[in-house]
Amino acid sequence: MEAGKRMEKVLEKSLNQKVKRRSFLKVFAAAAATSVVPVKEATAFSFSKYFQKHYKEMTEADKKKVFARITKEAKEKYNTSINISEPQAITGVKYAYCLNLKACNGSRMCVTACAEENNIDPDIGSYIKVLEMPIGTSNTERGDLFYDEHNLPKDGKYYLPTQCNQCDNAPCTKVCPVEATWKEKDGLVVIDYDWCIGCRYCQAACPYEARHFNFKEPKIDKSKLNTQQSYLSNRVRSKGVMEKCTFCLHRSREGQYPACLEACPTGARKFGNILDPKSEVAQIFKHKRVFVLKEELNTMPQFFYYFD
Amino acid sequence: MIVEALTGSKVYFLWLGFLTILFLLGVFAYYQQLKFGLEVTNLSQIVSWGAYIANFTFLVGVAAAAVLMVVPAYVFKIPEVKEIVIIAEIMAFVALILCLMFIVVDLGDPLKSWHLIPYIGKLNFPQSVLAWDVIILNGYLLLNAHVPGYVLYQMYLGNEPKKKYYYPFVFLSIFWAISIHTVTAFLYSGLGGKPFWNSAILAPRFLISAFSAGPALLILVFYTINKVRYHFKVKVKVFKILKSIAAIAFPINLFLVFCEVFKEFYTDSAHVASARYLFTGLHGHNILVPYIWFAIIAQIFVITVFWVPKLRDNSKFLLPACVVGFIGIWIEKGMGLIIPGFLPSPHGIIVDYTPSITEIFVCLGIWSFGALLFTMMAKVAIEILNGKLRVK
Amino acid sequence: MKYLLLFLIIPSLYAQVEIEQRLDIIKGFPCMKCHGSFVNKKSHFPLNTPHENIKLNHYKEINNCYFCHDRDNRNQLKLINGKKIAFNQGYKVCIQCHGEKNRDWKLGIHGKQVGSWSGKKYRYSCISCHEPHKPQFSKWIADPLPKYPWIDSARKGGH
C-alpha cells in the first residue's frame, strides 16, 4: 500500500488535483490482488444471465429457469431462501399516488422504509427524496435535500417527497435503446434488470431524478434482506443496471399499499386505483386540487400533489 | 500491407511504442472498471454521463468532418484534394471506431451489447434516438470501411478502382456524415428534462463545431504527413481549402454560442441555471468556468490567426492555432456541454465532476488506440497512394 | 324507501374499513374503576396517572374536561347535545366541529389508513395522531439522509 500512497502523491502534484483515493488505490490494490488467490467475495459470474431473453418474450419454461437462477444466486450470496414472484397487472386497475403536502412533515420515514422494502444498495440510498421547499414555489430546483433534521416542520417551508411518477408519457421508456424499461397495463413503469445494458440514457431523460444506476455490485445487509421479491421490482440487482421505484409492484399487485405509504406517520400518502370512483385517490381528485411536477414537459405523471 | 504497417523509422517505432503503452494502461484501467463497476469513475447519480460520453460526442463530429474533404474531392472534383481524400476517410473510420469504443466503456454491462442488434436483440427503433444512432453510426462505419478499403485494395492490386463500386457510396456518405452528427445532437436536444440541451440550435452547433475542429485536426495531420513522408506531399490547395473552411466555421460556431448565451441570460428564466453554472459558476461551484472561457478565448485567437494572411500562412501561428482550436472545441462540445446539462439536477443538486484517474487512463487508452490505428492505416494508405506499395 | 337504501349502502361502505379501536390502546380503562369511588377529592393528589400532566389547550371555549367527558360516567364521552359516546367512537366528538376533516377522514383521504387499497382497510382514529387535550403537534426529528457518495461535493458551496 505504501507504493500506492507515494504514487498517488506524485500524480496529485502533477495533475494539480486531488486524486480520487478510492479509484486509484483500487487500481493499485487490484493489481496486487489479481496475482493472489481470488477473493471469496467475488461475485458469482453467471453466463446464463447474458443469454436470457427479454422478459416480455420469455415462455413459462424460460421464466422458471430464470427464477431458479435468481433464487440460487441469492442462496449463494446471502445464504437465505427468497421467493421470486411475478404478479401480473390486475385488469381494470391504473395506479395513482396522491401526496398531501399539508400533512408531510419531512420525517423521511418513507425514505427509510423504501430502502428496506426494495433491497436498495446504501449508495443509491432510497428511491424517495424529500425536499424542503420554500413556501411560494413548486420548482424542485429550489428545494433543499440536506435540510436540518430537527424541529420539523420548519416555519416557511413545506416538504415535498419525490419518487418515480410512473409517467403516462414517460421520457425514460421512449429513450431506452433496448426496451429494457416499459409501461405496464396498470400504469407501472418497470425495468427488466437482466436486459438493461446500463447506458443511463433513461437517467439523463428523466426530469425527476427517479432513475438510479448501480455503479457497483449492491451490498445488502444480509439481516435486512427482504426475501419477498418479484422479478420486476425488488429483487436484488447487479452492478451496471438501472433501478427505480415501482410503487412496490410486489405489494400493490397483491392488493397491498406501498411500503412508503405504510411508513408515513402523518397519513400524507394515498394510493389506489384511479379507475375506481370509491378509491381514496379518486376521491382526492373529486374534492382536492391536485397538481403534478413539471407539467409543461407533458410527461403526464401519475403522482399527484395537493395542499389540504 | 501488414509488413508496411509494422516497418519504419526509429521515430515511427517510438511513436507506436508510446501509443501502445498508453493503450495497455487504458486496457488495465478498463479491466478495473469491468471488475468493480463504474464506481471507479467519478460519475454519480447526478452527473451520470461524463468523460466517456463527452469524448464520444466530440469524436462523432471528427468523423463527420471527413465530408469536408469528400465534397471538394468528389463534387467539385478538385484534383489536389482527390489525391488525399482517402486519408480523411480513414480518419473518419478511426474516429468512428473510437466512438464505438467510448460507448462500450460507458455501458454498465457491456456483455449485453448484443441487445442492441435488431431482431437478435430488441432495438427500440424508431422510438429511441439512441437506436437511430446505433444504426447510423454503424452504417457510416461500413461506408468508411468500404470506400477507402475498396479503392486502396484495388490500387494495391494494381487495378483501377471501378467507379460504380464506390462512387454511389461516396455520395451516400456525404449525406450520411451530416446525419450522424445531427442524430447525435438529437440524443440531447430531444430531452425535455434537460433544458440546457433542449434547444433547437444544438444540432447546428454540433455540425459547425465539427466543421471547425475537423479542419484543425486535418491541417495538423496533413502537416505531419508532409514532414515525415518525403515522397508524398499534401498540396497547398488542400491546406487552403481547410483554412477557408475553418476561417468560416469557427466564427459561425462562436456566433451560435453567443446566440445560446443571449437566449439563456436575457430570458433569465429558471432554466438559466445550467448556463450560469458553466459560464459564471453557481452556488459556489465553479470548476468549469475557467475551461469554458479558455475555449471561447482560444476560438477568438484561432479566428484571428485564420483571418490574418500573414498569420495563417505562418506555421508558427497556424499549428498552435489548430491545436488550441481543437482543444477549445473539445472543451466546449465535450465537457462544456455534457456536464452542465446535468447541473443543477432537477432537485437543485450540484456536484463537482472531474474524471477519475481510471477514467482518464481509459480515455487516453482509447485515444492512443485511435492514433495507433490511424498512424498505421495512414502509412499503408500513403504508400499505396504514391504507388510504392503494390502486391508482389 | 331511500332510508332503506341508505341503511344498506352505508354499512357496505364501512364493511371494508375497520376503524382503530381506541379501547385497545387506552390504558387505565375502565375509567370508573377509579372515578367511580371518588369525585374531586383533592387529598388524593398528586396522582400517578397520565391525567396529571394534561394541560387543556384545544380551543378557548373548551375550558373544562366535561365539555367532552361525561361527568357521571367516566367510561364514556358526550356530545354537545348530551348524547353519550363510547371511546371507540371518540371521533364523533371531534366531528362536531371538524366537519370538513370528517368528510375527508370518512373517505380515507385524511389521516393514516393502511391495509389493502382494493380490500379491507384499517383506519386510524383522530386521536391516534391528534392529542385531543393539546392537538398542536410537537416538532419532529427526521430519519437521517441516506449516505450518498456524492453528498460531500453537493453540500460544498451555499444553496
ipTM of this predicted complex?
0.94
Give bridge partners of residue A213 from the DSSP assignment. A242
Structural domains in chain A (count): 2
Tell me the nearest-neighbour CA distance from B265 into chain A, angstroms.
18
Element (H, E) at A162: strand A157-162
Cβ atoms of residues B370 and B93 within 8 Å: no
Which of C147, C153, C155 is the best mutation test for B, with the most CBs of B within 10 A? C153
Report the residue of chain B nearest A128, measured CA to CA: B347
Cα distance between residue B252 and residue B211, in whole Å:
10
- Residue C84 has φ and ψ, to the nearest 5°, of -90, 140
How far is Cα B250 from Cα B322, in angstroms, rounded to an integer? 11
Distance CA A224, CA A242 (A): 21
- Residue A1 DSSP one-character state: -
The set of chains that have 3 or more CB pairs under 8 A with A is: B, C
Q: Do C146 and A267 touch (CB under 8 A)?
A: no
Which chain A residue shows the shortest CA-CA distance from C130?
Answer: A266
Measured between beta carbons, which residues in chain C are less than 8 angstroms from residue A271? 117
Domain count, chain B: 1
In a domain, B28, yes or no: yes
**CB nearest to B124's CB, from A178, A203, A205:** A178
Please judge whether B352 and C153 are an interchain contact, meaning their C-beta atoms are less than 8 angstroms apart. yes
Q: Does the CB of C46 have a partner CB in chain B at under 8 Å?
A: no
Q: Are residues A155 and A12 in the same domain?
A: no
Cβ within 8 Å, pair B46-C154: yes
Is residue A4 within 8 A of residue A24, CB to CB? The reply is: yes
Each residue's pLDDT tens digit, B130-177: 999 999 999 999 999 999 999 999 999 999 999 999 999 999 999 999
Separation between Cα atoms, residue B195 and residue C74, nearest integer Å: 64
Residue B171: the pLDDT is 94
Rounded Cα distance between A238 and A246, Å, is 17
| Distance of alpha carbon A164 from alpha carbon A167, whole angstroms | 8
Give the minimum alpha-carbon distance from C109 to chain A in angstroms, rounded to a whole number.
6
Is residue A123 a contact partner of residue C113, using CB atoms and an 8 Å limit? no
Contacts across the A-C interface (CB distance below 8 Å): 110
b/e per residue A167-206 (b: at least 16 CB within 10 A):
beebbbbbbbbbbbbbbbebbbbbbbbbbbbbbbbbbbbb
Residue B91's nearest CA partner among B221, B211, B209 is B221
Question: The domain that contains B327 carries what CATH number?
Answer: 1.20.1630.10
For residue A107, the chain C residues in CB contact (below 8 A) are: 140, 142-143
Using one digit for the tens of pLDDT, what is the confidence trace for B356-375? 999 999 999 999 999 999 99
Q: What is the mean pLDDT of residues B81-88?
A: 94
Q: Please indicate whether, in this complex, the C-beta atoms of A267 and C113 are within 8 angstroms of each other.
A: yes
* pLDDT for res C3: 52
Q: What share of chain C is helix, strand, coil (3-state, %, to 5)?
A: 35, 15, 50
- Per-domain residue ranges of chain C: 16-138
Those residues of chain C whose CB sits closer than 8 Å to some CB in chain A are 13, 103-104, 107-119, 124, 129, 137, 139-149, 151, 154-155, 159
Q: Is A99 helix (H, G, I), strand (E, B) or coil?
A: strand
B254 part of a folded domain: yes
DSSP string for residues in A209-273: S-EEE-SS-----GGG---EEETTTTS---TT-EEE--S-HHHHTTTBPPHHHHH-TT--EEEEE
- Closest CB from C110, C142, C147 relative to A149: C142
Residue whose entry in the numeric block shows the C-alpha cell 420548482? A139
Relative to beta strand A303-306, strand A95-100 is parallel
Q: What is the pLDDT of residues A89-143, one digit of tens each?
A: 999 999 999 999 999 999 999 999 999 999 999 999 999 999 999 999 999 999 9
Same domain, A176 and A273: yes
CB contact under 8 A, A308 and C110: yes
Residues 6+ apart with CB under 8 A from A27: B28, B29, B32, B40, B357, B358
Could you tell me if A123 lies within 8 Å of chain C, comparing CB atoms?
Answer: yes
Report in angstroms the alpha-carbon separations of B219 from B226, B237, B239, B322, B380.
10, 12, 6, 7, 20
Out of A111, A145, A280, the one facing C143 most closely (by C-beta) is A111
- Backbone φ and ψ for A207, nearest 5 degrees, come out as -85, 0
Q: Which of A41, A169, A176, A178 should be substituted to probe chain B, the one whose Cβ sees the most B Cβ atoms within 10 Å? A: A178
Pair A102, A144 in one domain? yes
The interface residues of chain A toward chain C in range 138-157, judged by CB-CB distance below 8 A, are: 144-147, 149-153
Among residues B93, B96, B99, which one has the least CA distance to residue B151? B93
Judge if A85 and A22 occupy the same domain: no
The Cα angle at residue A142 between residues A138 and A148, in degrees rounded to 5:
110
Cis ω before C46 (30° cut-off from 0)? yes
Amino acid letter, residue A63: K
Q: Strands A95-100, A189-191: parallel, antiparallel or unpaired by DSSP?
A: unpaired
Are A220 and A267 found together in one domain?
Answer: yes
Query: How many A×B Cβ pairs under 8 Å?
Result: 186
B228 falls within a domain: yes
Dihedral of the alpha carbons of B378, B384, B386, B387, in degrees to the nearest 10? 170
Among B249, B245, B237, smallest CA distance to B207 is for B249
User: What average pLDDT does range B297-303 have in this prediction?
Assistant: 96
Identify the closest residue of chain A to B133 by CA–CA distance: A177
Whether chain C has a CB inside 8 Å of the CB on A273: the answer is yes
| Cβ contact C114:A257 at 8 Å | yes
Q: What angle do CA B233, B236, B240 make, to 5 degrees?
A: 140
Contact B64, B210 (CB under 8 A): yes
* Burial of B224 per CB tally in 10 Å (0-12, 13-18, 19+): middle
Cβ distance of B44 and C158 shorter than 8 Å: no
Contacts B–C by Cβ distance under 8 A: 27
B44 closest CB neighbour out of C149, C156, C158: C149
Give the span between the Cα atoms of B36 and A27, in whole angstroms: 10
Query: pLDDT digits over B318-361, tens only?
Result: 999 999 999 999 999 988 999 999 999 999 999 999 999 999 99
CB contact under 8 A, A271 and C117: yes
Chain A environment of B353 (Cβ under 8 Å): none
- The span from the CA of B140 to the CA of B174, in Å, is 10
The candidate with the shortest Cα–Cα distance to B94, out of B139, B60, B135, is B60
**A17/A162 same-domain check:** no
Please compute the mean of the pLDDT values over residues B374-392 and round it to a whole number: 89
> For chain A, how far is it from start to end, CA to CA, in angstroms?
59
Torsion (CA) A38, A40, A43, A45 in degrees, nearest 10:
60
Size of chain A, expressed as the number of residues it contains: 308
Q: How far apart are CA B56 and CA B38, in angstroms?
A: 17
Buried b (16+ CB within 10 A) or exposed e, B273-305: bbbbbbbebbbebbebbebbebbbebbebbbeb
Does one domain contain both A155 and A24? no
Picking from A254, A252, A287, the residue whose alpha carbon sits closest to that of residue A272 is: A252
pTM: 0.89
Three-state DSSP at C27 gives coil
Given an 8 Å threshold on Cβ–Cβ distance, is C150 in contact with B285? no
**Which amino acid is located at B63 in the chain?**
A
Bridge partners, residue C115, by sequence: C121
Residue A161 lies in a domain: yes
Task: Judge whether A101 lies within some domain.
Answer: yes
Report, as ranges of residue numbers, the positions in chain C whose pLDDT lies below 50: 5-12, 14, 159
Residue A41: inside a domain, yes or no? no
Q: Compute the CA torsion angle A66, A68, A74, A75 (nearest 10 deg).
A: -160
Taking chain A (308 residues) in consecutive chunks of 10 residues, what is each chunk's mean pLDDT? 42 43 43 40 67 95 95 92 94 97 97 97 97 96 95 96 98 97 97 97 97 96 94 95 97 97 96 96 96 97 96
Contact B115 A22 (CB under 8 A): no
Chosen for mutation from B288, B352, B353, B356 (greatest number of chain C CBs closer than 10 Å) is B352
Cell of A69: 437462477
- Judging by beta carbons within 10 Å of its beta carbon (0-12, 13-18, 19+), is residue A41 exposed, middle or buried? exposed
Q: Which of B112, B191, B356 sits opposite A23 (nearest CB)?
A: B356
Chain B residue closest to C149 (CA)?
B44
- Where residue A167 sits, what CATH number does that domain have? 3.30.70.20
Nearest-Cα distance to chain C for B199, in Å, is 27
Which of A178, A199, A209 is nearest residue B122 as measured by Cβ atoms?
A178
* CB-closest option in C104, C140, C155 to A152: C140
CB spacing of A209 vs B347 below 8 angstroms? yes
Taking the CA of residue C109 as centre, how many other CA atoms within 13 Å lie in the half-sphere pointing to its CB? 29
Q: Tell me which chains share at least 3 CB pairs under 8 Å with chain B.
A: A, C
Amino acid (1-letter code) at residue B201: I
Instruction: Return the C-alpha cell found at A39.
Output: 477473493
Cβ pair C158:B283 closer than 8 A: yes
User: Is A277 an 8 Å CB contact of chain C?
Assistant: no
Interface check A288 vs C, CB under 8 A: yes
Strands C121-123 and C17-19 turn out to be: parallel
Both A287 and A206 in one domain: the answer is yes
Q: Which domain holds residue B115?
A: 2-385
Contact A26, B359 (CB under 8 A): no
Identify the helix (H) or strand (E) that includes residue A2.
helix A2-15
- For A139, the domain range is 48-306
A91 shares a domain with A16: no
* One domain for residues A7 and A150: no
Mean pLDDT of chain B: 94
Give the closest of A115, A262, A266 to C114, CB-based: A262
3-state class of B310 per DSSP?
A: helix
Type of residue found at C39: V
Helical segments of chain B, H only? 2-5, 10-36, 51-64, 67-70, 79-106, 129-156, 163-189, 202-228, 236-267, 273-279, 289-307, 309-312, 315-330, 336-342, 357-385
DSSP A54-89: PGGG--HHHHHHHHHHHHHHHHHHHS---EEE-PPP
Q: Are residues A162 and A18 in the same domain?
A: no
